[in-house]
Structures are given as C-alpha cells and as structure tokens.
Amino acid sequence: MDHLSDTDGTPPIHSSYECDPELRDLVIHFVDELDQRVETIRSAFLSEDVAALQRISHQLKGAAGGYGFDSIGDSAARLEYDLLTDESMISDLTERVEDLINNCRAAVRPADS
C-alpha cells in the first residue's frame, strides 16, 4: 500500500477574498472544513475508492476558486482530470493526491478581526 508523504514544503496560502466582508465568514467556514476534506481524500486514496476521490476533487474544482483558493481548485482539477483519463492504477496518482492535500493544508484561516 502506498504512503503519502508527510513532508510539506507548500507555503501558506491566503484566500484572495480574505478581506472581502461579503465572503470572510464563508472563507473561515471553508478552511475549517478542509481538515475533514483532507481526511476524506486520504482515506479514499488509501482504500482505492476512485468514485469518492472523483467526487471530492470535482467538488473542490468547482468551488475552491470561488472561495479564493485557486491553487486548491487547480490541483483538484488536475487530479480529477487524471482520474477520468488515466487508465492506470490509482497508485500512479500519488503525486496528484499529495499535491491537493498539501494545498488544502496550506490554506490560511483568515484572522478574526
């Protein structure tokens, strides 16, 4: 079974809507939920649940940018693309999955004002 690397060199990522009064609460909520999403991604990958991985990468692809996290959205898009087009084993997607998880973990929760 493949392991996911625990080393993470990704710099912190701030939402581009961090200071947007309209969205601040939502961004906070989104970042708070990311831990849970990372867990879902991780367990889906480890149990080779392609459908679950596809679902969550699709969701993040469509929504993350709207919360100001383009890098999360982009890495989710790359993972989704490979899931849909790659005929090879799920273990080949390690890099993509790690990339997505790293971006999620790097998201910064806007400070309370």
Partner 1 sequence: MRPRVLAIDDSDLVHRLLRARLRHERIDLHSVYTADKGIAAAKELQPEVILLDIDLEDLDGFEVLARLKADPSTRDIAVIFVSASNETMDRVRGLDLGAVDFVGKPFDVGELKARVRSALRMQRLVKMLAQRAQLDGLTGLWNRAYLDDRLEAETASAIRYGNPLSLVLCDLDRFKNLNDSHGHPFGDEVLERTAAILGSGRSPDVACRYGGEEFALIVPGTDLQETIEVADRHRVRISEIQWPDRPGVHISASFGVADLSCISGTPTPEKLIVVADQALYRAKNSGRNQVVGADAQIWPRSAAG
Contact set with partner 1 (CB under 8 A):
22-23, 26, 29-30, 55, 58-59, 61-67, 70, 73
* Residue 76 CB, nearest approach to partner 1 (Å): 10
* Residue 17 CB, nearest approach to partner 1 (Å): 8
The answer to whether residues 107 and 34 touch, using CB atoms and an 8 Å cutoff, is yes
Closer to partner 1 by CB, 41 or 64: give it.
64
Q: What's the CA angle centered on 96, arms 7 and 72, to 5 degrees?
A: 85
**Alpha helices for 20-113 (secondary structure H):** 24-46, 50-63, 70-85, 94-105
* Residue 5 CB, nearest approach to partner 1 (Å): 27
